[in-house]
């Protein structure tokens, strides 16, 4: 599914990632680490938002540099702040945007948008304005906007950080219902219960790569050191 070989990343003259050699095939992968550890930069490598300074990243066999457009069709990326993702003021209009860019016939767009909204508990929201929605509702709209494009993989960069517990549960339930492989970057460790594999980043490297229990114990010891 995801392969990184000899990957390093420099930004602003500083090496923020180094020595990444990973093959990720599990359906649910968590990514944790302290602020500045490199975990968000890692997530952005997976859909071509950032290009490695050394090495290569492949997702489903697609190189994130040579095949950037195809990678972005394959990988749905959800930001921490939905306002960084939502383009149009109207909910239905925003979901339709990506479909129009894909060249779908107009007759297909409306039903696809309605189905996506209903799937995430937003039936009847099509005529709403996004700025009038709660933070959790906006994040669900952003997620629906990704899923309406039917990506093969979801990469979520701290998508619940701005949400209360109720909306966190709503968003994570929607992610679970999406039935796609997920890479989740988070500070909210309980969200990783039931995940298959967790990567702990520290100073731009993977300091631990293990099942959740072992990885979280390592991370807590690291934080207490």
Q: DSSP string of the chain?
A: -EEEEEEEEEETTEEEEEEEEEEE--SEEEEEE-TTSSHHHHHHHTTTSS--SEEEEEETTEETTTTHHHHHHHEEEE-SSGGGT--SSBHHHHHHHHHHHTT--HHHHHHHHHHHHHHTT-TT-TTSBGGGS-HHHHHHHHHHHHHTT--SEEEEESTTTTS-HHHHHHHHHHHHHT-S-EEEE-S-GGGGTT-SEEEEEETTEEEEEE-HHHHHHHHHHHHH-
Which pLDDT does position 225 carry in this prediction?
A: 64
pLDDT, position 174: 87
pLDDT of residue 59: 98
Please identify which residue in the block is written with the tokens 């114990």. Answer: 217
In a structure prediction context, what are the per-residue pLDDT tens digits for the chain, which is 225 residues long?
Answer: 899 999 999 998 899 999 999 999 999 999 999 999 999 999 999 999 999 999 999 999 999 999 999 999 999 999 999 999 999 999 999 999 999 988 899 899 999 999 999 988 899 999 999 999 998 999 999 999 999 999 999 999 999 988 889 889 988 888 888 889 999 999 999 999 999 999 999 999 999 999 999 999 999 998 776
Instruction: Tell which phi-psi region holds residue 8, choosing left (phi > 0), alpha (psi between -120 and 50) or beta.
Output: beta
Residue 177: what pLDDT? 84
Positive or negative, the CA dihedral 113, 115, 117, 122 is: positive
**Fold classified for 2-224:** Rossmann fold (3.40.50)
Question: 136, 148 in Cβ contact below 8 A?
Answer: no
For the chain, domain boundaries? 2-224
State residue 12's pLDDT score. Answer: 87
Distance CA 204, CA 191 (A): 23
| Lookup: tokens for 22 | 């990973």
């Amino acid at each position: 599914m995801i392969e990184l070989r000899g990957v390093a990343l420099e930004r602003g003259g500083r090496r923020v990632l180094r020595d990444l050699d990973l093959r990720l095939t599990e359906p649910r992968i968590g990514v944790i680490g302290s602020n500045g550890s490199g975990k968000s930069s890692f997530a952005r490598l997976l859909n071509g938002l950032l290009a490695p300074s050394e090495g290569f990243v492949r997702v489903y066999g697609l190189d994130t540099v040579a095949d950037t457009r195809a990678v972005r069709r394959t990988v749905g990326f959800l930001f921490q702040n939905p306002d960084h993702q939502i383009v149009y003021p109207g909910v239905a209009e925003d979901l339709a945007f990506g479909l129009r860019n894909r060249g779908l016939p107009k007759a297909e767009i409306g039903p696809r948008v309605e189905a996506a909204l209903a799937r995430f508990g937003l039936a009847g929201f099509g005529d709403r304005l996004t700025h009038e929605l709660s933070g959790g509702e906006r994040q669900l709209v952003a997620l629906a906007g990704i899923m309406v494009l039917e990506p093969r993989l979801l990469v979520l960069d701290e998508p619940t950080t701005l949400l209360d517990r109720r909306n966190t549960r709503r968003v994570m339930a929607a992610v679970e219902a999406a039935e796609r492989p997920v890479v989740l970057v988070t500070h909210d460790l309980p969200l990783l219960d039931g995940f298959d594999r967790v990567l702990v980043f520290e100073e731009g490297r993977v300091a631990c790569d293990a099942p959740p229990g072992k990885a979280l114990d390592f991370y807590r010891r690291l934080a207490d050191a």
